[in-house]
Amino acid sequence: MSETLISARGLTKRYGDFTAVDAIDFDVAKGESFGLLGPNGAGKSTTMRIIAATSQRTSGTITILGRDPEEHGPQIRAHLGVVPQQDNLDTELTVSENLFIYGRYFGLGKKFIRNKIYELLEFAQLEEKRDVKVDTLSGGMKRRLTIARALVSEPDILMLDEPTTGLDPQARHILWDRLFRLKEIGVTLVITTHFMDEAEQLCDRLVVMDKGKIMAEGSPLELIKTHSTKEVLEVRFGSDRNKEIAPSLRAICSRMEELPDRILMYVEDGEALLEEILNRKLHPTTSLVRRSSLEDVFLRLTGRTLIE
């Protein structure tokens, strides 16, 4: 087991009567890509802010690089690169000025930062945009710049809160590719997301969060193995008939989830089950056999879908 960078026990955050984070335990190892997966309001961002030493816990313990953020906030923040959910780039400055001044906030030398800027612009694929104001950048470019900015201080841990929310598919893939490179060179990543594909792509290990609690923990594959079946058969009979047909389906499949628009059937062999359904003359309007995903894990654990 490699060095533990972040360790939380019974971590709790309350705002008045509302418990945003409810006694959670987790550890993040050096070089690991750790994910917090859950719907909006699950407590992911609050957890991130506590790790980033910009929010104080109500109870429990947490150490980041062996230190308590309550006593060593600035020292912990010096180790971190933070990519917030909403871009907060300096709109009055250009791309390279944004990188420069952010380094200055850490107290870094001008020469060091100027050299670093070349490297970061190349990484973010923004060389041609270095002297333009950030307002003119596309959403994907802004995100890449925010990530580059977080890297200016050569952090030990990069914190990414919903890194691709609001981006189009192409911009997401470019961003994933960049983050994958960071992972390859051993940067520890902590990522929150409500996209299961993102969690599957980027996270070595993740916790599934719902209503402030951790519901499950493991690698994407482990989670799917433990909490779901190998395959999923999705059938649709039209929204009126779904309810009517469900009981007869239950007879041939022990695990089902009925969603408003479709029925999910969890089995080892989806094709065989579909054949069985057709043999019984229950003709679905559409059917699809697919592998289980983290979405199914979440559905299994909470009875709800990730994106509502």
Partner 1 sequence: MSNAVAIADARANRTGHQIYAGRARAIIERSLIALRSSTWVPVATGFVEPVLYLLAFGYGMGELIGNVTLGDRAVDYTVFIAPGLLAASAMNGAIYDSTWNVFFKLNESKLYQGMLATPLGPLDVALGEIVWALFRGLSYSIAFMLITAPLGLVPSWGALLAIPAAVLIAFGFASFGMAITSYFKTYQQMGLINIALLPMFLFSGSLYPISVYPDWLELTIKLLPTWHGIELTRDIWFGIIDFSSLSHLSYFLVMIVLGLFFTTRRLRDLFMR
By CB under 8 A, residue 95 contacts partner 1: no
By CB under 8 A, residue 86 contacts partner 1: yes
By CB under 8 A, residue 112 contacts partner 1: yes
By CB under 8 A, residue 132 contacts partner 1: no
Which residues have CB under 8 Å from 59's CB, separation 6+?
A: 10, 12
The dihedral sign for the CA sequence 147, 150, 155, 157: negative
Give CA–CA dist 255/34, Å, rounded: 30
- Minimum Å gap between C-beta 145 and partner 1 is 12
By CB under 8 A, residue 77 contacts partner 1: yes
Q: Which is nearer to partner 1, 156 or 204 (CB)?
A: 156
Give CA–CA dist 146/135, Å, rounded: 13
Q: Which of 155, 212, 220, 284 binds partner 1 (CB under 8 A)?
A: 155
Q: Using CB under 8 A, which residues numbered 43 to 72 contact partner 1?
A: 52-56, 71-72
By CB under 8 A, residue 154 contacts partner 1: yes
- Minimum Å gap between C-beta 127 and partner 1 is 20
Q: Which of 75, 115, 219, 286 binds partner 1 (CB under 8 A)?
A: 75
Both tokens of residue 213? 């609690």
Least Cα distance to 266 among 237, 295, 307 occurs for 295
Give CA–CA dist 34/18, Å, rounded: 26
By CB under 8 A, residue 109 contacts partner 1: yes
> What order do you get walking across the sheet with 205-210 strand by strand?
80-83, 157-161, 188-193, 33-37, 205-210, 213-218
Binding site for partner 1 (CB under 8 A): 52-56, 71-75, 77-80, 82, 84, 86, 88-94, 97, 100-102, 104-109, 112, 133, 153-155
